[in-house]
Amino acid sequence: MSSAITVYYTFCPRKQEALGAYLQYQRKIADEILNYGFKKLFKIEFNRDKVRTGKHGKPYWDGRENVWFNVSNTDGLVVCAVAGSRGKAAKVETAAEGSGGAPGGLGNEIGVDTEQPRSVRMSLLHRCCSLKEMRYILGEEYSPGGKEFCFGESGADGFGVDICSGTERKARSRKETREEIRNIQVQDRFAQIWTLKESYIKMTGEGMSFPLKEAAFSIEEKVNGEFNISCIQPGFFAQRKIEGYWIAVCNNFKEESKIDWQELKFPRIYGKFRHSLRQ
């Protein structure tokens, strides 16, 4: 059984709003995106009254149609992934609630996540990444115990990497767990891995209750800039980097799914939002 997923994204830089107001603005954008996608793909209106939450808080569509969606937002970007039966609405069989979002975890469960590369701590890498992922992020030379990477100010640009011994690492480990790694490639590859992990735990609906190390990934970049992505957990994964943001999407089908990536622009939303703040 094959499936199709549409990933919509909208850039929305924060201007003068406080964080709470900005998140409210992003939620309005997400609703606009979902309404656009539901109308175009399924000929139905998106209605928040038909959104329920699963066992671990994952939102799902509770209408009588085969529709699945997931939303992610970060500073400057909102992403919505939508999948389901296009055209005529299809009836959904009811079942007891499972671990995912929709009742019984039926159908085309999806998860999406987006992040920009940012500083990261070694303690977080060790906590959520497998050894293979650590080597992808830090370099093939990384090996726990012996000589390891230490990230500091060795380069003129402040993004240098040097090698330190196990003894030196023990002396520096406490300091390093508090310090943030500023190596650009490390930040970029960690964001790539992190969004994949997040897309998986959002697809299953388990969230951070799932041990992230158990969703371990292997990534190979293809000639055309796309990626071959495999995971020890079942599912199909796709990923793109768009204007500095990593976007990852996952669904619960093992075979390859068609992904349609679409940027949407809603200039009217921002004007309405700023007007509502002034009232």
pLDDT mean for each 10 residues of the chain (279 residues)? 83 86 92 95 93 88 88 97 66 39 61 94 90 90 58 32 44 52 88 96 89 92 83 94 96 82 80 56
Residues 147 and 165 in one domain: yes
Question: Does residue 235 fall inside a structural domain?
Answer: yes
The pLDDT of residue 107 is: 64
Asked if 237 and 220 touch (Cβ cutoff 8 Å), the reply is no
Residues 113 and 221 in one domain: yes
Residues 113 and 126 in one domain: no
Question: Does residue 273 fall inside a structural domain?
Answer: yes
> Last residue of a domain, which of 181, 201, 232?
181
- pTM of the shown model: 0.80
Question: Does residue 162 fall inside a structural domain?
Answer: yes
Question: Does residue 11 fall inside a structural domain?
Answer: yes
Beta bridge partners of 231: 217
CA 159/CA 32 separation, integer angstroms: 40
The pLDDT of residue 84 is: 85
Residues 133 and 150 in one domain: yes
Question: Does residue 191 fall inside a structural domain?
Answer: no
Residues 51 and 73 in one domain: yes
Residue linked to tokens 């768009």: 242
Given its phi and psi angles, is residue 6 left (phi above 0), alpha (psi -120 to 50 degrees) or beta?
Answer: beta
- How far is CA 91 from its chain centroid? 29
Question: Does residue 188 fall inside a structural domain?
Answer: no
Q: What is the b/e burial string over 169-178, where b = at least 16 CB atoms within 10 angstroms of the residue's CB?
A: beebeeebee
Question: Does residue 99 fall inside a structural domain?
Answer: yes
Residues 27 and 150 in one domain: no
Residues 19 and 157 in one domain: no
Residues 142 and 252 in one domain: no
Q: Please give the C-alpha separations between residue 196 and each of 75, 184, 209, in angstroms, as whole numbers.
A: 18, 19, 16
| Total residue length of the chain | 279
CA 3/CA 110 separation, integer angstroms: 11
The pLDDT of residue 211 is: 87
Residues 21 and 113 in one domain: yes
The pLDDT of residue 95 is: 30
Residues 76 and 103 in one domain: yes
Query: What is the phi/psi pair of residue 174, to 5°?
Result: -60, -40
Question: Does residue 172 fall inside a structural domain?
Answer: yes
Name the strand (E) or helix (H) holding 122.
helix 122-128
The pLDDT of residue 226 is: 79
Number of domains composing the chain: 2
CA 200/CA 237 separation, integer angstroms: 8
Residues 91 and 131 in one domain: no
Residues 17 and 103 in one domain: yes
Which residue range(s) make up the domain with 269?
Answer: 4-117+217-278
Sign of the Cα pseudo-torsion (160, 166, 168, 174, in order): positive
